[in-house]
Structures are given as structure tokens and as C-alpha cells.
Structure 1
Amino acid sequence: MSVKVVDMHDNFKCACGNTSFGSGFFPCDNEGNYVEPDSDWIGYYKCEACGQIYSPVENERSNGDTKK
């Protein structure tokens, strides 16, 4: 599954309909493996409902990481 760059906010909704108040989103790497949100974390989130990986647009601007 590819990484989608989006403007994530408190009421962000995944294409599958999941929200942070539903199944939620969890920190992951660019392959969808769960990670701890520590200093090595790049900022990706995985939708717990469908597995889609998201990268907040702010992360792409600040670190230039565009791995897909």
C-alpha cells in the first residue's frame, strides 16, 4: 500500500471512514510496521481499520522524506 500525504487534523477521516475517535491511527514506518513515536519516528500513521498509511503534509515539508 502506498503512503498518502494528507493534511491530518483532529477530525481527519480515512477514505474507509475511520476517524481518531473510531479505530484510530497509529505510528508506523513507511511500510506500515508499528513503531514507537520516539525521536527516530518519521511521522507516518497507519489506519487501524484498513491499513492505509498516511504522512502528514507538515512532515513532508519539514524533513523532505518522500519515501513511498
Structure 2
Amino acid sequence: AYAVNHIVEHIPEESFVGFLRETGCPAYHPRMMMKIILCAYTQSVFSGRKIEGLLKDSVRMMWLAQGYEPSYR
């Protein structure tokens, strides 16, 4: 989890600007979502529902999600 966090934190902020929106419901930050997806992929978890389950069970995933609980929907 530390390695994934370190890698994603060194990506320039300009890379994520295109994903941010001003209208609608506030979305999760793309940087946080990338951390979750990369950590799940390192554990061979590819399903959205299984990733959501990891977010509730794994301390590493909770730490990367910064207290948020994104749904698979």
C-alpha cells in the first residue's frame, strides 16, 4: 500500500485535471480512486463488488481510501 501511495502521489496534479467536474454530485478524487484500483489489481481483484468488499475488510485499502467508502455502482 505504501508503494502504491508513493507512486500515485508523484503523478503531477495536471494529469488529473481532466477528470474533475464542477456540476453534479461531488465525485471521489481521481488520485484516490487510482490508488484503490492499483492496490486491488496487485491482489488480483478485478471485480467492482470485490473491490468494495476489500474496502470494508482490508486495513490497507481503508488507508488508501482515506476514510471514503466508494460503491461499486
TM-score by length of 2: 0.28
TM-score by length of 1: 0.29
Q: Larger RCO: Structure 1 or Structure 2 (Cα < 8 Å, ≥ 6 residues apart)? A: 1
Structure (1 or 2) with the greater helix fraction: 2
